[in-house]
Structure 1
Amino acid sequence: MTDVPIRRTVMSSGFRPWLITGHAEVRSVMADPRFAKDSQRVAELLDRHSLSGSDSVFGQSLLHHMLNTDPPEHGRLRTLVNKAFTPRAVERLRPRISEICDELLDALEGKTHVDLLAAYAVPLPVKVICELLGIPQADREMFRAWSNTLVSALPPEVVNEASAAMEQYLHGLVAAKAKEPREDMLSALVHAQVSGHRLSEDELVSMACLLLAAGHETTVNLIGNGLLALLTHPDQFAALRADRTRLPGAIEEFLRYDSPVNQATLRFTTEPVRIGGVEIPEGEFVILSIDSANHDTRVYDDADVLDISREAGSHLAFGHGIHYCLGAPLARLEAQLAFTKLLDRYDRIDLAVPEQQLEWRFSVVMRGLERLPVRLGLVRSAP
């Protein structure tokens, strides 16, 4: 974290947002209604800043979801899906998630050199969220490729192509669910009503995009980054193997130590706001650095040290306030089962390449590996 937790920054594009890095300051902004997120107003404000916000690479039917709206619209949209992600509702998914973990690990039987990201950390949450929403099996690899592109820092024309393809696909899927509903969340959303009104087709497509992307991207990185943290800290790995009751706390430390998300989505001031001794004028954009906030030495002793016994529950990896990640209970459950099954199955896991050779995804928002090659030792029989 920088010594000054709030400062104006200048990007190569000419964009001049305020960067906020301190834990207290980031947390405060996340809960402050004077920092808005409405996608239409963001586009208008970007135009005012001569940054072509109206030419977003994302179609409008991918933008109007609860992460890009403010109250009261935000509450209306979130109410529709909130019940599906409560801790009690998520707990009912435990047997199926456990089964998926076993299936993925069974497929590795006899293999000693594996990319654990491609073979385990990616397919687990993708399969869970796709089954939950009712995405056909044949379309899941295609969806994963689109999602990867949408959260990348690739050229706008590349992102635009993926955005258009996903938008077209989801419009078709929503139409199919409207005609022939199934026992899945997307069918339920298509036919749900709030105060007598149903979601528009664009709202449904946007909600589906958010749930599909957010429903797996964070979890993939939580599992991948957490595994890497253990592999590069053998003392902590040994401590976790010796005492599995530490796993829930270890997962919170993984979220803090190497957060799956680098920064929060864009916000802007609706009036002058004074925070951390600095006044940010009206109509200014702010970028919240989650990674920096989670390493704030004012909050965490030895912040750059991995310590699975640390009380890390105050981290901001899932956000804070009304936009706190709806899928946090699901991500935690998937991670707990993923690590438990992996440790049950293998007595030894080691990096197969030097840490310096690992590559990170080309993304401004997400923090995740491209690959995680490992050596697996002493395979136990499946439990």
Structure 2
Amino acid sequence: MLAEFSVRSINAIRPDIAAIVDEHIDEMLARGGPLDLVQAFSLPVPSRVICEILGVPYSDHTFFQETSQNLVQAESPEQAIESVGLLIAYFDELISACLKQPGAGMIGRIATEHVATDRLAKHELIMNALMLLIAGHETTASMITLGVITLLAHPEQLAELRGDEALVGPAVEELLRYLSIADIAGTRVAVADVEVGGITVKRGDSLVVSHSLANRDPSAFTDPDTFDIARGSRHHLAFGYGVHQCLGQNLARAELQIALPALFSRIPDLRLAVDRSDLVLRDGGTVQGVNELLITWGAEA
């Protein structure tokens, strides 16, 4: 695991994450509702955090947020290829600058310690940085937004969460299990013949593994279609499994554990400004979520 994503490193930056969260809530309260939670909070919070970890200038956030969205929600192969090309060119330029003069964050460190010494090819750092940037803000942004929707749809459990700090960790794990937003990551190729559920998967066969279905498996979870923050289970597959587990899971957990309680604590009467049935969900083949979520608080207009 990269040092920047270890439990120790993430715990060390929890105060920084909390400060970013509070800053954006301050801005929301100053503006007043209704406003789009995605643009005001869910997207900028993890974007700023991952930029600081990687050493990516946050001043470029409009470019990489829009380009990342065009990639994960591409409507054609051409759009996906174009978006990847733009991001590769961006990181190529950033890493080249770091090789001339040591840069900040993980990218700056690896460029100096590994690329400059020929221990790692430049294109390998480019592709890893691209993956971490996209995964580091797109998925967490969707989880924050869908987490808000889910908790508001279960007011009794939200009240329990507000009253018991010990429930924050279990609540986040249950949201990760219940929502399972990144099924697109579960593609595998069998390297040998293997039997799964009484079916022989032959070497070379491709499989799409649905995290959503696995996380709703009644043999693994009692009453799996029920949202229960007291479930206390961490054996879900929201972050994958084994050597393919998500590198940034410690960061994602920390951001959710900090952002969601802060949001509902500082805006206790937060509510949707639209009917839940009118929300427009993304296509299921991408990182699942909504691109806009109007919220409000205070007295009814």
Shorter-chain TM-score bucket reads: over 0.9
Q: Distance in 2 between matches of 1:288 and 1:153?
A: 21
Q: Please list every run of at least 4 consecutive aligned residues from structure 1 whose deviation after the TM superposition is greater than 3 angstroms.
A: none
Structure with the larger helix share: 2
Q: 1:278 aligns with which of 182, 196, 199?
A: 199
Cα offset for 1:153?
4.3
Check conservation: 1:126, 1:140, Cα contact below 8 A. yes
Does residue 1:133 correspond to 2:54, yes or no? Answer: yes
Q: Who is 1:113 aligned against?
A: 34
Cα offset for 1:298?
1.2
Aligned ranges 1:63-78 → 2 under 5 Å:
none
Q: Which has the greater radius of gyration?
A: 1
Q: Distance in 2 between matches of 1:311 and 1:153?
A: 36
Q: Who is 1:99 aligned against?
A: 19
Check conservation: 2:186, 2:240, Cα contact below 8 A. no
Q: 2:215 aligns with which of 294, 298, 312?
A: 294
Does residue 1:183 correspond to 2:101, yes or no? Answer: no
Does residue 1:214 correspond to 2:214, yes or no? Answer: no
SS in 2 for 1:117: helix
Q: Distance in 1 between matches of 2:276 and 2:285?
A: 21
Q: 2:153 aligns with which of 214, 229, 232?
A: 232
TM-score normalized with structure 1 length: 0.74
What number of residue pairs does the alignment pair up?
A: 297
SS in 2 for 1:326: coil
Cα offset for 1:306?
0.8
Check conservation: 2:5, 2:248, Cα contact below 8 A. yes
Map Cα deviations across residues 156-207 of structure 1 (whole Å, 9 max, x no partner).
Answer: 111121111111111111101111112311011112239x752111111101
TM-score normalized with structure 2 length: 0.94
Check conservation: 2:38, 2:293, Cα contact below 8 A. yes
Map Cα deviations across residues 98-119 of structure 1 (whole Å, 9 max, x no partner).
Answer: 1111110111124021211211
Check conservation: 1:257, 1:306, Cα contact below 8 A. yes
Amino acid at match of 1:104: H
Q: 2:5 aligns with which of 80, 85, 95?
A: 85
Q: 2:175 aligns with which of 250, 254, 260?
A: 254
Check conservation: 2:186, 2:210, Cα contact below 8 A. no
Q: Who is 1:348 aligned against?
A: 269
Question: Quick one: percent identity of the two aligned structures?
Answer: 37
Q: Distance in 2 between matches of 1:312 and 1:365?
A: 26
Check conservation: 2:37, 2:293, Cα contact below 8 A. yes
Q: Who is 1:46 aligned against?
A: none
SS in 2 for 1:98: helix
Gaps of 5+ in 1: 1-78, 379-383
Cα offset for 1:351?
1.3
SS in 1 for 2:29: coil
Amino acid at match of 2:4: A
Q: Distance in 2 between matches of 1:137 and 1:303?
A: 39
Amino acid at match of 1:166: L
Q: Distance in 2 between matches of 1:90 and 1:185?
A: 13
Check conservation: 1:262, 1:291, Cα contact below 8 A. yes
Q: Who is 1:381 aligned against?
A: none
Q: Distance in 1 between matches of 2:112 and 2:186?
A: 29
Cα offset for 1:363?
5.2
Check conservation: 1:153, 1:363, Cα contact below 8 A. no
Check conservation: 1:263, 1:291, Cα contact below 8 A. no
Q: 2:294 aligns with which of 373, 376, 382?
A: 373
Q: Distance in 1 between matches of 2:33 and 2:294?
A: 10
Cα offset for 1:84?
1.2
Gaps of 5+ in 2: none
Q: 1:157 aligns with which of 68, 71, 78?
A: 78
SS in 1 for 2:227: coil
Cα offset for 1:235?
1.6
Does residue 1:304 correspond to 2:225, yes or no? Answer: yes
Root-mean-square deviation (Å)? 1.7
Q: Distance in 1 between matches of 2:261 and 2:155?
A: 17
Q: Distance in 2 between matches of 1:343 and 1:245?
A: 15
Q: Distance in 2 between matches of 1:168 and 1:143?
A: 12
